[in-house]
Amino acid sequence: MSRPTGRVLTLLELLQSGGTRTVAELAGRLGVEGRTVRRYVDQLIDLDVPVESVRGRYGGYRLATGYRLPPLMLSDDEALAVLLGLVAGRRAGLTTAQHTASETASAKIRRVLPRHIARRLDTLLESLAFTEQPGESGTPDAGVLLTVADAVRHRRPVSIRYTDRDGRRSERTLHAYGIVAHAGRWYVTGEDPRIGEDRTFRLDRVADARTLPGSFEAPADPAPAERVVAALATAGYRHEVTLRIHGTVEQIRARLPASVASLEEHDPVAGEDRAAERWLRVELRAERLDWLPPVLASLDRPFVVERPDELRDLVIALADRLASRARQA
């Protein structure tokens, strides 16, 4: 793409962002003189793009009201960024539509990529590895997501049809404070006005959402993301785990973040450094325990399993396997 052509497309992008742009502003953004801007405008008009000239002190150029732009034009780097975003979002489980929509969008962009850019993309994808497998949970329905987002923005109650993890279905009314993407899933958090308590719901389990009449006031604190993290850390699961770990808060949080475990920090005695290593109580809930022994081993800190006994047995079994393999080596 020649430089003048690229500047004409940049001018189109500036105009499509809305409003009237002065010649001086456009010249500054494009790095050209005012007469060159006028020449670029003439080129757009020759391409049937209806650019209007606005006279007066605050005059300049703008696109005609109601004009629909031609198909989206992306630079090579922009197209590559969009494709990588689609791939990363799909792998992280944060796509907001069915997988087919993401795949067809990727295919449409790939079809028009120059051959050398397509090769660069293929090379990158072949070299790219993810530490986690794609999420197995369903993605939220786009209509549900947009309805809930509208309810959050305008502070309107929303009615949702929800299926919990045990398959129980219910219809809830929610004063939604915010939408949060966390660990490959989408959540909505807010207050259930019927019981006056905060609730957090996975959006992929919401079958339908509709806004209701009325309005509400959302509290300033805590932020929606903090509410979701706290709700997940204290949610009811099959196993309740209590540990005592000797180390600093930072060392423990590196492997057991706030979204996974609650950490009881005792007030330090006089003269004690808060960053010093000490025994801290850690509590968490989990559906399965098999992932915890490797995490505790990776902490490389002294720890005591207070409950459950099943976790203590799993830790001992892991230690025995590691010792056996070390002797074999």
The total of other beta-carbon atoms located within 10 Å of residue 264's CB is: 10
Domain 3-63 in CATH 1.10.10.10? The answer is: yes
Q: Is the pLDDT of residue 271 over 60?
A: no
pLDDT of the residue at 131: 57
pLDDT of the residue at 156: 93
Check: CB of residue 243 under 8 Å from CB of residue 293.
no
SS3 198: strand
Note the pLDDT tens digit of each residue in 25-52: 888 888 888 889 999 999 888 888 888 9
CA distance 133 to 83: 19
**Order of strands, sheet of 185-192, starting from the edge strand that comes earlier in the sequence:** 197-202, 185-192, 169-182, 158-163, 206-211
- pLDDT tier at 1 (50, 70, 90 boundaries)? very low
Helix (H) or strand (E) holding 84: helix 76-92
pLDDT of the residue at 263: 87
Nearest alpha carbon to residue 228 among 188, 176, 286: 188
CA distance 66 to 328: 75
Note the pLDDT tens digit of each residue in 181-195: 877 778 999 999 988
Q: Is the pLDDT of residue 314 over 90?
A: yes
Assigned fold of 143-231: SH3 type barrels. (2.30.30)
CA distance 253 to 263: 9
pLDDT of the residue at 129: 67
pLDDT of the residue at 99: 54
pLDDT of the residue at 171: 93
pLDDT of the residue at 100: 59
Domain range 239-328, CATH architecture: 2-Layer Sandwich (3.30)
Note the pLDDT tens digit of each residue in 109-140: 777 777 777 787 777 777 776 655 554 556 78
pLDDT of the residue at 272: 54
Note the pLDDT tens digit of each residue in 195-204: 888 889 998 8
CA distance 187 to 199: 10
Tell me what the mean pLDDT of segment 57-73 comes to: 71
3-state SS string over 88-112? Answer: HHHHHCCCCCCHHHHHHHHHHHHHH
pLDDT of the residue at 59: 75
Mean pLDDT of the chain: 81
Looking at per-residue pLDDT, the higher value among 85 and 252 belongs to 252
Tell me what the mean pLDDT of segment 145-160 comes to: 91
pLDDT of the residue at 185: 79
Looking at per-residue pLDDT, the higher value among 186 and 69 belongs to 186
Packing angle, helices 3-16 and 34-46, rounded to 10: 80
CA distance 119 to 80: 11
213 residue type, one letter: P
Classify each residue of 230-255 as buried b or exposed e, where b means 16 or more C-beta atoms within 10 Å of its C-beta.
bbbbeeeeeeebebebebbeebbeeb
CA distance 307 to 138: 33
pLDDT of the residue at 176: 93
Note the pLDDT tens digit of each residue in 85-117: 777 776 666 665 555 566 777 777 777 777 777
Q: Percentage of the chain surpassing pLDDT 70?
A: 83
